[in-house]
Amino acid sequence: MDVSSTGLRVLRQIAESGSFTAAAARLGYTQSAVSRQAASLERSAGTALFGRRPDGVRLTPAGLTLLRHARTMLDCLTAAERDLTGSTSRPEPVRLGLFLSAGAVILPPALARLAATDPQITVTTTEGTTPSLIRALRAGSIDLAVLTSRPPHRSLDGESPRLHVETVTDTELVVAVATTGEFAGRSAVHIDELIDAPWIAAPASHAEPLLGVWPGLPGRPDIVHCARDWLTKLQLVAGGFGVTTVPSRLSPVLPPGVSLLHVEGAPPEIRRVLTARLPGRPTPALTAVARAIVSST
């Protein structure tokens, strides 16, 4: 096969992003340039590498095979570039991905622990939804991901080989409300009281579910504000503009004016926090980062 490093980077980014358009945006290319690189890769491979689906682009089995080798080749190129610079320092890099609320309560103590115990480890981070982080793992764009799953905690994706997954902790979902107003001074709320409540929710799709409305809430929820950013959602709650669903682990970082209520009249909603990585023997740096994440929860 005659492939370029640019083509391999395009392959990896398409696998991570799930679409040609998103891959082009992240790489700083035009969509037509990404399409040309993809077509060139398929001509060189002599087979289809990309499958178009209603929810985006996924790699075919042949594409996944090439991706596995692409990760190795791109890592070797990165190591060669580092060696050619003649740098004497040898930091141990770990690329960490986290789901959207993990950065506030998991990341700072984990980084503080690493600074004290393993200062040679350099951690870079990125945020995303669990599906997007799984794609990034498969593409080799991140080394370790902090993810969430809901019961019955099935396999994170249907790809092979299966990801190596370890449980960090379980956390309960609760409802964030203003400390003044209808629910002031309470520690719990019945689910029937939430049916007509104004909700602050994150935009979601079938492929990218995000928190917002209480899971299984009867009827059609009244969503008055949509926001991905947790600070925005919680400040709207503090202002009395609606309620939203949050993991209870956010309690240490709540802004003034927000309290958390347990939901009665419905089964508890438990979410599991996990770390995931590609199978195989982890590097000592990767093991240290995973250990620091567990210690921070």
CA 223, CA 204: separation in Å to the nearest integer? Answer: 12
- 238 within 8 A of 258, measured Cβ to Cβ: yes
Assess whether pLDDT exceeds 90 at residue 6: no
Of the candidates 222, 147, 253, the one whose C-alpha atom is nearest the C-alpha of residue 214 is 222
Confidence at residue 88, expressed as pLDDT on a 0 to 100 scale: 47
pLDDT for 68 equals: 83
Is the pLDDT at 5 greater than 70, yes or no?
Answer: yes
Q: What is the pLDDT of residue 89?
A: 52
Is residue 114's pLDDT more than 60? yes
- Per residue in 247-283, pLDDT tens? 999 998 899 999 999 999 999 999 999 999 999 888 8
pLDDT at 160: 81
Describe the chain by its helix, strand, coil percentages, rounded to 5.
40, 25, 35
The string of pLDDT tens digits covering residues 126-182 is: 998 888 899 999 888 899 999 999 888 888 887 888 899 999 999 999 999 999 989
Is there a contact between 194 and 214 (Cβ–Cβ < 8 Å)?
A: yes
Q: The tokens of 85 are what?
A: 């610079």
Say which CATH superfamily domain 170-269 falls into: Periplasmic binding protein-like II (3.40.190.10)
Q: At what angle do helices 31-45 and 5-17 cross, to 10 degrees?
A: 110
Predicted pLDDT of residue 259: 96
Domain ranges of the chain: 5-84, 92-169+272-295, 170-269
Mean pLDDT in residue range 36-62: 87
Q: How far apart are CA 148 and CA 297, in angstroms?
A: 14
Q: What is the pLDDT of residues 76-110, one digit of tens each?
A: 887 777 677 665 456 789 999 999 888 888 998 89
* Rounded percentage of the chain residues whose pLDDT exceeds 70: 96
SS3 46: coil
Read off the pLDDT of each residue in 62-87 and give the average, rounded to a whole number.
78
Residue of 90 and 49 predicted with greater confidence: 49
Would you state the pLDDT for residue 86?
62
Other C-beta atoms within 10 Å of 229: how many?
10
- φ/ψ (deg, to 5) at 161: -75, 160
Q: Taking residues 14-26, what's their average pLDDT?
A: 84
pLDDT, tens digit (0-9, with 9 covering 90-100), for 118-134: 888 999 999 988 888 99
Q: Would you identify the CATH topology of the domain 5-84?
A: Arc Repressor Mutant, subunit A (1.10.10)
pLDDT of residue 228: 85
Give the dihedral sign, CA 19/24/30/35. negative
Give the separation between CA 254 and CA 297, rounded to whole angstroms: 17
Q: Which two structure tokens, joined as six digits, stand for 99? A: 């789901």
Residues 251, 50: Cα–Cα separation, whole Å: 43
- Distance, C-alpha 238 to centroid of its chain: 26
pLDDT higher than 60, residue 33: yes
Q: Report the CATH superfamily, name and number, of domain 92-169+272-295.
A: Periplasmic binding protein-like II (3.40.190.10)
In angstroms, rounded to a whole number, what is the distance separating the alpha carbons of residues 99 and 15?
Answer: 18
Give the pLDDT of residue 206.
58
286 confidence band (pLDDT: 50, 70, 90): very high
Q: What is the pLDDT of residues 231-247, one digit of tens each?
A: 999 999 999 999 999 99
Same fold, 5-84 and 92-169+272-295: no
pLDDT attached to residue 95: 94
Model confidence over 179-224: pLDDT tens digits? Answer: 998 999 999 999 999 999 999 998 876 555 567 899 989 888 999 9
pLDDT higher at 24 or 168: 168
More confident position, 124 or 70: 124
For position 19, what pLDDT does the model report?
A: 85
